[in-house]
Structure 1
Amino acid sequence: MTIQLQVTPERALVDVPVEIVCTGCQPGQQVTLRARTLDSDQNSWEAYATYRADEQGEVRPASQEALSGTYQGVDAMGLFWSLQPKGKRRRPSSLSWRSEEPLHVQLVAEIDGQAVAQFDVERVLISPDVEKVDLNEQGLVGTLYHPKAEGRYPAVLILSGSDGLPRPNQAAVLASHGYAALSLVYFNAPELPRTLANIPLEYFEKAIGWLQEQSFVDEEKIGVIGLSRGGELALLLGATFPAIKAVVAGSPSGMTHAGFGGRGGYDVPSWTYHGEPLSYPKSHITFWQVLSWTVNGLRRRPFEMKSIFVQMLQDQENIKAATIAVEKTQGPILLISGDDDRMWPSNLFSEMVVEQLREQQFPYAYEHLDYAGAGHFVCFPYGYPYFPPTYLPLNGMAFGGSAAANAAALKDSWPKILAFFERHWQPT
């Protein structure tokens, strides 16, 4: 019998799981399946797992345990999220895919080290019924995607964190689920602030107004989603502008923190409103922290920022002034964190937000998803389900989590994010 490898569906949106079946093997035979792809920077990524064919001579990752490989256990999509960079001394920390074209993944079946079957699949980031709009007017910079069909759709602002990178593909994925999604750039672009410092909240107010003016947007259904400093910003916008009717904050803080860059270094406000800077807690870096970072740097070990933010909580006076009035938000709030976040204590910050909402008798729904073993990059818009998650150190900083834990958090949180919006805004 000829060995065949089949993947269904062959082409699908990136968040749609596939079924992999290898047939024609000998019962009990060991079969290795490999997945290979290239990212936008032409880095090679590969994953593999070895299985034992069942009595019918078939291998099905959805129901059979991997004996060895880049992931463990039974997982239909393990070969996708466990992709790892190969062949370079300086390996990228995440799989970067900046094209609107589908990501091609080659699957190969091997027996005794020899390739016996192959199948190519496409992971799509934008549905064909979605339209793109480049935003560069009124001082606003970003990329909007929305369904082409006539109608008025809920709109979601997608916010980056301290990296300042745009998230157009994330907007495309969300738009493919029936939303107008705007990846808004707010610094590190021409005619915008160079760094995350003194960003006027009026910029986001203008973006909200621009969205409401679009004929395909339901002006009463505007939401926001962000992670890390973007999560902080999402909570801040919800508390500041009544037009925001739903907030999703990943790895967030319920207080405003210092910005960085320019003459102020790391002692400069991130945000301003009506020309006034917003307060932020002060950091007091100790001699022992500096020593620890120095030793880790010499040993090429990543350092954790978390301890700095935990220590900030002792600055009660500035903490109170910097606390975001999340109870003023005019809609539901979803908080997402990982308990192994080593960038900052996002699960503790999230619980502080929950307690504040509880004490203030917040009238809308709120929920905190806290994932065991997951790190800082725990959810959309800094990842998709079934896509290699970010967890490795970058620029000397540790983010926590593991590939398996972060992937599990992405898989679980994404449908809950969609359900969160759907419960409150049924797309028309």
Structure 2
Amino acid sequence: MFSFSLHQVKGPNIGLLGFSKGGDLCLSMASFLKGITATVLINSCVANTITPLHYKDMTIPSLGNDLGKHTITESGLMDCVNIWNNPLEEPDHRSLIPLEKAQGPFLFIVGKDDHNWKSEFYAHIASAWLQAHGKDRPQIIYYPGAGHCIDPPYFPPRIASVHAFLGQAMFFGGEPGAHSKAQVDAWQQIQTFFHKHLDGKKSVKHSKI
């Protein structure tokens, strides 16, 4: 269980917000830990990635990949959208996170021009998986023209950057204008979702620069 030692933390409800690899970690937390009320995933995978996940006497292997399937853009950046195996197929099916065990609702934020991995495909998997297990359909918000790195509003769009794990300059996708608009709207959607499920409020103030 969680302990609230900071006065800024109201409790008792707990919300999780995860991006990229942090998203599948949040999915795992929501699936295995008690007290998680609502979870937001930004361009996240529904399978465990990068390294095996160990929890108590259980291990979830990492989703397989083939770096040989990467491409190089005209600017010399790595594009890795096609390197990841399909988590619905064997043997990678074992890497799927049992999100049907989660108690609270999900919000998936999806950039349709994500070039890190197939976030839209993963959100579809999550929706079908939850409904197949008698759970509510998750909320999914799609942003055409948005890439992988949907940061808070007014952060410069990260169309490309050095990947923390691979150490290579990566193309993450996104058209600057559409991506920037997605960052503003997603921030509002995330706040609305958390206010609704954590404290019962339905509206929030709009972001202003």
Q: Shorter-normalised TM-score: what interval?
A: 0.7 to 0.9
Mapping 1:186-201, distance limit 5 Å: none
Name the SS of the counterpart of 1:400 in structure 2: coil
C-alpha distance in 1, partners of 2:159/2:182?
Answer: 12
- 1:254 maps to a residue whose letter is V
1:301 & 1:335 partners in 2: Cα distance? 31
Q: Take 1:387 and 1:279, find their aligned partners in 2: how far apart are those partners?
A: 34
- Which residue in the other structure is 1:360 paired with? 133
Bigger radius of gyration, 1 or 2?
Answer: 1
Change (3 A) 1:355 1:315: closer
Residue 118 of structure 2: which of 345, 350, 362 is its match? Answer: 345
* 2:67–2:80 contact (8 Å) kept in structure 1: no
Letter in 1 for 2:121: L
> Where in structure 2 are there 5+ consecutive unaligned residues?
163-167, 202-209
SS at match of 2:146: coil
Residue type at the aligned position of 2:157: P
**387, 392, 396: which is aligned to 2:155?**
387
Alignment pair present for 1:323 and 2:60: no
Pairwise CA distance, 1:361? 1.9
Match of 1:256 in 2: 48
1:357, distance to aligned residue in structure 2 (A): 1.4
The answer for the alignment partner of 1:375 in structure 2 is 147
The code of the aligned residue for 2:49 comes to H
State the structure with bigger RCO (CA 8 A, min sep 6), 1 or 2. Answer: 2
1: distance between equivalents of 2:190 and 2:80?
27
1:89-126, CA deviations, whole angstroms, 9 ceiling, x for partnerless residues? xxxxxxxxxxxxxxxxxxxxxxxxxxxxxxxxxxxxxx
- Which residue, out of 195, 199, 202, partners 1:426? 199
Q: Deviations over 1:16-60 (max 9, x none)?
A: xxxxxxxxxxxxxxxxxxxxxxxxxxxxxxxxxxxxxxxxxxxxx
Q: What displacement does 1:332 show? A: 1.1
The one-letter amino acid paired with 2:196 is: R
Partner SS state of residue 342, structure 1: coil
Instruction: Name the CA distance, whole Å, in 2 between partners of 1:385 and 1:300.
Output: 26
The 3-state SS of whatever aligns with 2:22 is: helix
Q: Kindly provide the CA deviation profile for residues 276-328 of structure 1, in whole angstroms up to 9, marking residues without a partner as x.
A: 43222322344xx37x55xx6xx75111111111xx01772233211111121
1:226 is matched with 18
1:22 alignment partner in structure 2 = none
Aligned with 2:147: secondary structure? coil
After superposition, the Cα gap between the structure-2 partners of 1:399 and 1:216, relative to the gap in structure 1 and judged at 3 Å, is closer
Taking a change above 3 Å as real, the CA distance of residues 258 and 216 of structure 1, as seen in their structure-2 partners, is closer
Change (3 A) 1:390 1:352: same
Q: Judging changes above 3 Å, is the alpha-carbon distance between structure 1 residues 216 and 318 closer, same or farther for their aligned structure 2 residues?
A: same
TM-score normalised by the chain length of structure 1: 0.42
Runs of 4+ in 1 over 6 A off after TM superposition: none
Higher relative strand content: 1
Q: For the residues of structure 2 that align with 1:284 and 1:385, how far apart are their CA atoms?
A: 34
RMSD of equivalent CA atoms? 2.4
- Between Structure 1 and Structure 2, the one with more helix by share is 2
Following TM superposition, by how much is the alpha carbon of 1:210 offset from its aligned partner in structure 2, in angstroms? 3.1
Q: Which amino acid aligns with 2:96?
A: T
* CA distance in 1 between partners of 2:7 and 2:154 (Å): 34
Same amino acid, percent of matched pairs:
27
| Aligned partner of 1:409 among 162, 182, 192 | 182
Write the deviation string for residues 56-97 of structure 1: whole angstroms up to 9, x where unpaired.
xxxxxxxxxxxxxxxxxxxxxxxxxxxxxxxxxxxxxxxxxx
Q: 1:282 touches 1:315 (CA, 8 Å); kept in 2?
A: no
TM superposition score normalised by structure 2: 0.83
User: In the alignment, is residue 279 of structure 1 matched against residue 54 of structure 2?
Assistant: no
Q: Are 1:209 and 2:38 counterparts?
A: no
1:185-244 Cα distance to aligned partner (Å, 9 max, x none): xxxxxxxxxxxxxxxxxxxxxxx6233x55654443011101000111111111111211
Measured at CA, do residues 370 and 220 of structure 1 come closer, stay the same or move farther in structure 2, by a change above 3 Å?
same
Helix, strand or coil at the partner of 2:37: strand
SS at match of 1:237: helix
Cα distance, 1:343 vs. partner? 0.7
1:272, distance to aligned residue in structure 2 (A): 1.2
What is the correspondence of 1:19-58 to structure 2 with a 5 Å cutoff?
none
Secondary structure of 2:82's aligned partner: helix
Contact 2:38–2:198 at 8 Å: present in 1 too?
no
State the 1:246 CA deviation.
0.6
Gaps of 5+ in 1: 1-207, 260-268
- Give the letter for the 1:277 counterpart: T
What residue is the counterpart of 1:302 in the other structure? 77
Q: State the SS of the aligned residue for 2:2.
A: helix
Q: How many residues align?
A: 196
Name the aligned partner's letter for residue 279 of structure 1.
Answer: P
